[in-house]
A and B are shown apart, each in its own frame.
Chain A
Amino acid sequence: MSRFVARSARETGFFLGIAFFVILAAFPFYWMVITAFKQNSDLYNIANTPFWFNEPPTLDHIKYLFSQTLFTRWLLNSLIIGLCVTAITLLTAVPAGYSLARMTSRRGEALGIFIFLTYLVPPTLLFLPLSRIIAELGLQNSMWSLVLVYPTFTIPFCSWLLMGFFKALPVEIEEAAIVDGCSLFGAFIKMAVPLSVPAILTVVIFTFTLTLQEFVYALTFVSSSDQKPITLGVSTDLIRGDVFFWGEIMAGALIAAIPVAIAYNLFLDRFIAGITGGAVK
């Protein structure tokens, strides 16, 4: 009997612990969802319980977003910026990570750490010198300035991440390809790249998410509404003076969050499962 009690107490403790963290992680998301569908009169009545719908849910906020604001434009901007930055990051970080992993000896590792350190310099410091560069290039107040600036923080981190992955890849596979008739570049394209698809997908998602949620650079370099990415558009155009359009803000955030959530769930298994099994014993 006492063993049963002890066991159930242990399990209760375990699940209570899990529940605490689940609530901690999911509550903001829940808050965003219900706010996005609440009527304004429900939202602003302080006598209502804020945790649930006191009046029937509505799609007004979403309709407002698409009809009265440039929300579609912001979504599109974010998408274009995200795709361009991801492409630039892949084109530079994959060869960079590979070179750091294979071409240099011990110096490569030190260089890799140094590159990673540049990622740690906060954007709040960097936007000052970067703004000069943007101005010189005539890109101020254009979303293309963000396409130029975002790779400054995605490339270092992704090169470093890919370097670790390429190091774990057995070098014999590439060497076998070289002896079998490939050039060094051929071995990289035909062996290293296809075998590092899980890492490349990680980089794609990481880069895309990071650009999607970036705020400081966007705020600094872009001010026209039609050039804004979604983070900036939602938080600047939907707060007018001291009026917060809470329903619209939350609806905008929700719509932006959904594709990312789907992408994570689809590719989660790819991140974890390597496909290198059987290459070497």
Chain B
Amino acid sequence: MAAVLTRNIVKTFADVAAVNGISLNVPDGEFMVLLGPSGCGKTTFLRIICGLEQQTSGDLLIGGNVVNDIPPRARGVAMMFQSYGLYPHYTVRNNIAFPLRTQRVSRDEIKKKVEWASQLLGIDHLLDRRPRQLSGGERQRVALARALVREPTALLLDEPLSNLDAKLRTSARQEIKNFQQRVHLTTIHVTHDQVEAMGMGDRIAVIDHGRVRQVGTPTEIYQNPADLFVATFVGAPPMNIVTRNGGGYLGFRPENLLPRRMIEDDAATEFSFRVDRSEYLGSERIVYGVIDGYESKQPITAKLPPAHVAEDSIRPGEWHEFAVKNSALRHFDSSGRHRTRN
């Protein structure tokens, strides 16, 4: 186990910068999530850490040592691929044992460790099967066992949940997170799924166009987005962004845009909100519309608790008095960066 530190990593493919200067510090034992849209460079960055790609410039430190020119096999990191990359011609037992064999660990030691890893993940009854005889969830656990068995310096996960169906994904998320906390392993998890990122990460690094936009705890990322990209990428529906008269932008989360009478605080900014469409989703009601006097590229959304709002009180086509608590307003300057005050 070790900390992973990167200093201004750049990777260009034929003049296009896939990773454009990422500096990131992942302390020992942290669960760090790299979140970003597809093609933002997060997978390339992960591949640089494990050594499958060589960075064009910048330094990579694992456990305090610069490993720029050290081949993957000597870095001691483990990686779990999106498609798991299990060895189809090996049994589960040999799949798990493979990283130990390449390190010439003794036979008894291999046996012991394979048993330990397979019991930890509850796959000890599958050891003699081949990957094609396993279900998606079982394959994932085999891949995880293979990654862990040699006690890596860091665990890299490349969208490991994207091949699972929605139900299995929730439990697999839980499993990986529990497991990571138990063994206290430095983990870097790449995903484009914000639910996954919010639910699993100790900290999240939001990446776009090969750059880190913001690093912070899920709360920080959600409550205080550093710029418009983070504000609109995290959250479903995303943060409402409207143009301010004096230049710059004003942002507020849909759950903070409420009918005026529901806000007891006096320090609130009032809006005249015309409802165009309303969706009932069981636990909440999402209302789409426009705000008088403000411009926005997207329809403004409000997330309302359905129990508090009778259906007929929010009728499409009508103007309503809505408001946002001043403490929930976020200000951005004209270049999209967050400003602390007006």
Contact = CB atoms under 8 A, between A and B. Distances in A.
B248 interface: no
A278 B130 CA distance: 8
Given A276-B88, A279-B87, 15 more contacts: A170-B83, A173-B86, A175-B85, A176-B85, A178-B72, A179-B72, A179-B78, A181-B103, A275-B88, A275-B89, A278-B133, A279-B132, A280-B84, A281-B83, A281-B136
Contacts of B71: 183
B21 to A, nearest CB: 24
Nearest to A172: B85
Contacts of B50: 179
Interface string A180-195: 1111001000010011
B277 interface: no
A279 B88 contact: yes
B87 A281 contact: no
A180 B51 CA distance: 11
B71 to A, nearest CB: 7
B131 interface: yes
Contacts of A180: 73, 78, 98-99, 102, 146
A122 interface: no
Kindly name the residue among A176, A277, A278, A281 whose own CB sees the greatest number of chain B CB atoms within 10 A.
A176
A205 interface: no
Interface of A: 170, 172-173, 175-183, 186, 191, 194-195, 275-281
Nearest to A278: B132
B25 interface: no
Closest 3 CB pairs of A and B: A278-B132, A181-B102, A176-B85
B219 interface: no
B183 interface: no
Nearest to A280: B83
B267 interface: no
Interface in B13-55: 50-52
Nearest to B152: A179
B79 interface: yes
9 contacts: A173-B88, A175-B52, A175-B81, A179-B50, A182-B73, A278-B131, A278-B132, A280-B83, A280-B84
B113 interface: no
Contact of A181 (B83, B99, B134, B139): B99
Nearest to B71: A183
A280 B85 CA distance: 6
Interface of B: 50-52, 71-73, 77-79, 81-89, 98-99, 102-103, 130-134, 136, 139, 146, 150, 163
A169 to B, nearest CB: 10
B79 A176 contact: yes
A178 B139 contact: no
A277 B86 CA distance: 11
A179 B103 contact: no
A279 B52 contact: no
Contacts of A170: 83, 85
A172 B51 CA distance: 14
B94 to A, nearest CB: 11
Nearest to B100: A181
Most chain A beta carbons < 10 A, residue from B82, B83, B134, B139: B83
Nearest to A195: B89
A278 B91 CA distance: 11
Contacts of A177: 87, 98
Contacts of A277: 88, 132
A172 B82 CA distance: 9
Contact of A186 (B84, B102, B130, B163): B102
A278 B79 contact: no
A277 B139 CA distance: 13
Contacts of B72: 178-179
Nearest to A181: B102
B86 A278 contact: yes
A172 B88 contact: no
B92 to A, nearest CB: 11
Contacts of B146: 176, 180
A178 B84 contact: no
Nearest to A197: B89
- Give the interface centre of B83, B87, B139 by most chain A CB atoms within 10 Å: B87
Nearest to A191: B87
Nearest to B149: A180
Contacts of A276: 88
Contact of A173 (B52, B78, B85, B136): B85
A195 B88 contact: yes
A275 B133 CA distance: 12
